[in-house]
Amino acid sequence: MENAIVPHGGRLVNRLLEGEQREAWIRKSKTLKSITVSPRIVSDLELISVGAMSPNEGFMGKDDYESVVESMRLKNGLPWSLPITLPVSIEQSRGLKEGEDVSLSDESGNLIAILHLEEKFSYDKKKEAQEVYRTTDEAHPGVSVVYRQGDALLGGNIRLINRTPDVEFPEHRFDPAQTRKLFKEKGWGRVVAFQTRNPIHRAHEYLQKCALEMVDGLLIHPIVGETKSDDIPAYLRMRCYQVLIENYYPKDRVILSVLPAAMRYAGPREAIFHAIVRKNYGCTHFIVGRDHAGVGNYYGTYDAHKIFDEFKSEEIGITPLFFDHSFYCKKCNGMATTKTCPHPSEFHAHLSGTKVRELLRNKQDLPIEFTRPEVGRILMEAYSD
């Protein structure tokens, strides 16, 4: 067994308050200025605090923010592809002083964290949109978030007081320290992670099993934070993952764990981000498929593969596994990709999202070449409700 992969930046960040220290900050929070933050920021707070976003210990200051937007690196040169920021209105910003502590609460009024405010600054939303999302089109869901958020950013380290109450899928929530421990207990030195915001279809299953031939274990790591309104809800996706693992995967070689992150839909840049986060969870390999974290037609089919060439492999520190578009080929009589199948597309079983929804609404079975029947039944039940 190989040594566990080192977290990004060299150590796993821990910003969780516990015991007497936590109680003291709860008392102190009553005397502090307070900010209500969005569910997306709550997700980021939790990921920062447990080390998933190591080496970040809070929200980025101006130097880190501008460096990440412009060059996909923190100011110290370490690769980091997405800005991690706390936006507020200009009015809110004026009421805060650099050097003070601020309490952060969710939209229900629950105290979540303390921000040690080190910096407040303005920023160029259009520049962030163009650099990070490669477009200034407000129809892009990630750009839309940037345009709608506050015009000032607050930078500083955080301390988490309370984790999100009443979380979904508690039995599948493992922090980076916990996944690392699980991998060690199982004797997994080489672990591949699979990022997903969709039900796993035959194409995804094929990629995972190809990767599983090369490593000791597979971490299926679906995003369960904020996604687009037309994405399939997390509870439904989790049912699909569970039935697949139950029937088609070697259970001793797979872990299903949720990632409570928000989707940014930043395509290539988000592929780098997703890889680094999985490195922090202890994975050594990461599957990068077709149009990773893409949306609409904003990114090229394999731009998420090419972006890894902009870094030295040792800088990222996790091995990307690049897969082309996969499908069932009727001529090959099996799953394949454009790298392995010589036959024209007329032999490839492919269904558009529109066609899938049409079949489900009409209570017609999805082709077995496209998805496992157990998954098809779960989706059909949901669409017929």
Nearest CA among 72, 51, 50 for reference residue 7: 51
Residue from 178, 186, 248 nearest 215 by CA: 186
377 is catalytic: no
Q: Is the dihedral of CA 67, 72, 73, 74 positive or negative?
A: positive
- Kindly name the residue from 14, 198, 239, 253 that is annotated as catalytic: 198
Give the CA distances from residue 247 to residues 100, 237, 348, 375, in Å, rounded to whole numbers and listed in that order: 54, 16, 25, 11
- Angle, nearest 10°, between helix axes 234-248 and 373-384? 160
Cα–Cα distance between 304 and 370 in angstroms, integer? 24
CA gap 324, 316 in Å, rounded: 21
Active-site residue, selected from the candidate residues 159, 197, 269, 290: 197
134 is catalytic: no
Active site residues: 197-198
